[in-house]
A and B are shown apart, each in its own frame.
Chain A
Amino acid sequence: MRWHTAWRKLVNYTMFSLTGVCALVTVGVLFFILGYLVWHGGSSLSWSFLTHLPTPVGESGGGMANAIVGSAKLLFLASAFGIPIGFLGGVYLAEFGGRTFPFVVRYTADLLNGVPSIVMGIFAYTVVVLPMKHFSTFAGSMALGVMMIPIAVRSTEEALRTVPLMLREGALALGASKWKTIATVVVPAARKAIITGIVLDVARVAGETAPLLFTAFSNRFWSPGWNQPTASLPVMVYTYAISPYDDWHRQAWAAGLVLLTLVLVANVVARLSVSGRSAHL
């Protein structure tokens, strides 16, 4: 009997330490990635890296200014396209609608969220690139914008649902119309959570590579306007990493570091601003 109890205690301790190890391993991966990127990318990161165009193979130096600007342009256009749709959709789900239709919308948004990003790329390719006959910033933004919609819908909806019913009733009792209530009372009350959701949304698509490969393509030079192929950070990381040149590998590390810093800073700031309650996707 005593032996049995000892055995059970042993199992208890071993298994729980094992689960602890599991947690440590996963968390360790993050710090490993961060440390390695800073160590490798930091040395190749310089001012000229951020402000110069890429140089031809064999010539050292050069930078990724066009990719950084390209990423910014892609994200800007994608947000201009994806956020309003997602936001209004979220308002609808939270404030209007009966039972069945919102359920269908929610379910579809979740499914859309699970669609592989490369499939989004194919979609944008057939819808935008094929009729226009060339790769463009616009096509890349289209792919990213579609990806942003489901997340924006869900995060807006959840943010609005946390607004107490009393606020709405108060506004309605003062004679405000439903639209006025939503625009001047409910949305401002949920402002912080909505913005957090949107920042996380942008940060998520900022790192997407797959849909850009054959929509925005890439470009060694500045991309004027919205109608030309453009370089972007994630695609640069990819092409430089699989290239056979050492110098390009170093630049891939540096670009990866820039990208990761942007994404993680956006995430940390957004999540900490709603401290305690993490915005879940």
Chain B
Amino acid sequence: MPFVFGTLVTSALALLVAVPLGVGAAIFLSELAPPRISNLLTFVIELLAAIPSVIYGLLGIFILVPFLRQYGEPFLKRTLGFLPLFQGPMYGVGMLAGGLVLAIMVAPFIISFSREILMAVPVEQREAALALGATKWESTWQVVVPFARIGIMASIFLALARALGETMAVTMVIGNDPRISASLFAPGYSIAAVIANEFAEATGDLYLQALVELGLVLFALTIVINGLARIVIISTAQKGSGQ
């Protein structure tokens, strides 16, 4: 159970950070930026998606964790310390670090998918809104984004599946402690991290089977989420071409 808890908390945290960041950047790239800059930035963002996860973990351990321990977590504790989320000792490693690393990792996916979906919104929709006197932002936020809503949701689901299954970066910063705790500062554990840490040294059939079952849980979870997201993408693509 602590493993499932850790997986869910870090993934939720990652989405909480990555969704506004990713969708915001996607809006900028598709609506505001001139095509050349937009293409250049998209290129860079796709490179970001290609960076191996172990590199993110490396930076997580040596940059993010010390930073959180020294500045980030004390700051949160001072300003929001009345919430149970931000209490307890500050180690640096823990759910918060795991969630933040994941957020950085999944943001590129949300951006490149959402950007494509936003670009696919017909120009007429924008023009109609602008012709009615809407400002550019109003046309974007009240017309374009709702039009692309389902597609953006699907991109978020794909990102979620990715965050759930991400192993290395999380293993390196989450603290690997099987406890359920209300505080985001506390070390936790995620399904993928348990498998990574203990599989090679699993002795005995029961131990091994337990780990394989955790793998199955993870597998089923990501398959279901991915499957739903893909169906949504396919059906919206068909609807779009039918119009």
Contacts and interface: CB of A to CB of B under 8 A. Distances in A.
Contact of A29 (B104, B167, B226): B104
B62 A249 contact: yes
Interface residues of B, number: 66
A33 B24 contact: no
A271 B43 contact: yes
A25 B226 CA distance: 27
A243 to B, nearest CB: 11
Contacts of B31: 16, 19
A217 B137 CA distance: 53
B19 to A, nearest CB: 11
A65 interface: no
Given A22-B21, A122-B199, A242-B172, A209 B52 contact: yes
B151 to A, nearest CB: 15
A30 B48 contact: yes
Nearest to A33: B59
A203 B55 CA distance: 14
Contacts, number: 196
Interface in A26-49: 26-27, 29-30, 33, 36-37, 40
A267 interface: yes
A237 B62 CA distance: 13
B217 to A, nearest CB: 10
Given A206-B52, A256-B55, A27 B200 contact: no
A252 B22 CA distance: 30
Nearest to B21: A22
B3 to A, nearest CB: 13
A40 B73 CA distance: 25
B15 interface: no
B8 interface: no
Interface in A202-223: 203-204, 206-210, 213-214, 217
Interface size class of A (residues with CB under 8 A): 35 or more
A50 B223 CA distance: 40
B195 interface: yes
A238 B57 CA distance: 8
A199 to B, nearest CB: 11
Nearest to A236: B54
Interface string B91-124: 0000000000000100110010000000000000
Contact of A33 (B51, B61, B195): B51
3 residue pairs, one from A and one from B, having the closest CB atoms: A207-B52, A116-B165, A22-B24
20 contacts: A20-B28, A25-B21, A26-B21, A27-B48, A30-B47, A114-B223, A115-B219, A116-B219, A119-B222, A121-B199, A125-B199, A209-B168, A234-B54, A237-B58, A241-B57, A249-B62, A252-B58, A263-B52, A268-B47, A278-B46
Given A115-B219, A119-B165, A210-B167, 12 more contacts: A22-B25, A33-B55, A116-B219, A119-B215, A204-B50, A209-B53, A210-B192, A213-B199, A214-B199, A242-B172, A252-B58, A253-B58
